[in-house]
Amino acid sequence: MKKTVLQIETQLAMTNSFKIGHNIQNRYDRYVERKNAGGVVGIPTGIEPLDYMLGGIKPVDLITFYGYTNTGKSWLLIIIAVAMAKLGYKVLFLTKEMSSEQLGDRIDAVWSGISYNRLRSGSLSVVEEKEYIDYLNKIENEDVTLVVEEVKGGVLTCASLIDTHKPDICFIDGGYLMAEDSKDGDDWKGIVRVWRNFKEIAMQKKVPIVATTQLKSQKAALDNASFAKYIANECDGIFGMEQSEQ
């Protein structure tokens, strides 16, 4: 029933149309905007190669990062989310892979520029400890635009949280864990359905989604996972991640 309701809602909402002879001025204005912004008209990631390829992340985009365990997918999402929040965008970060406290420590480390390992082990240097205290005092008195939520449910929970927080962009860490047909996310058809729903939510709510999924191979190629080449059809950008020896 949940799947049916979501499908009906998204189908009813997708009624935008384009007519070649209409809105001429608006289309030229969008071109001028792209020209003045150097091609980046969406939300910038803060990572130049990504922004060059994507033109920033736009309202209906679904972007996916995938890779092997411990490749750094969560860290990359955190780095991008913090960069966007520092620019004043309202960021919603949904996690299926770790607790909000664990995620909060990582965000604190990235935002303040201190060592995450020393923060986690309680062994910050004297300088870092002062920087950490100054950072906490600073953000306490500011309207920080980054919200973290643990997702206990599935896709519909994500849609509900987007409605609640009304973000400019939503990050979903561990989206593959929302596949209802498999506890460990191995069922590729279930993962494809999840990604299709992510795209429908982005289009319906005009909120871009950046999600991660996991491969069981260290080589980040679309052919190394049954679902990867299929979810690519739903994505506006899909990026495989690998770690070098360094």
Q: Could you report the per-residue pLDDT of 135-171, keeping only the tens digit for each?
A: 999 888 777 789 999 998 899 999 999 999 999 999 9
- 88: exposed, middle or buried (C-beta count within 10 Å: 0-12, 13-18, 19+)? exposed
Where residue 182 falls among pLDDT bands split at 50, 70, 90?
A: very low
What number is the average pLDDT over the span 179-197?
72
Q: What is the pTM for the complete model shown?
A: 0.81
Q: Report the Cα–Cα distance between both ends of the chain, in Å, rounded.
A: 48
Q: What is the pLDDT of residues 30-53, one digit of tens each?
A: 676 656 556 667 899 988 888 888
Q: Which of 178, 223, 171 is nearest to 196 (CA)?
A: 178
Q: Which of 107, 182, 117, 178 is nearest to 145 (CA)?
A: 107
For residues 242 and 71, the answer to whether their CB atoms sit within 8 Å is yes
Q: What is the pLDDT of residues 128-143, one digit of tens each?
A: 999 999 999 988 877 7
Chain position carrying tokens 């590729």: 188
User: Which residue(s) pair with 66 in the sheet?
Assistant: 213, 240
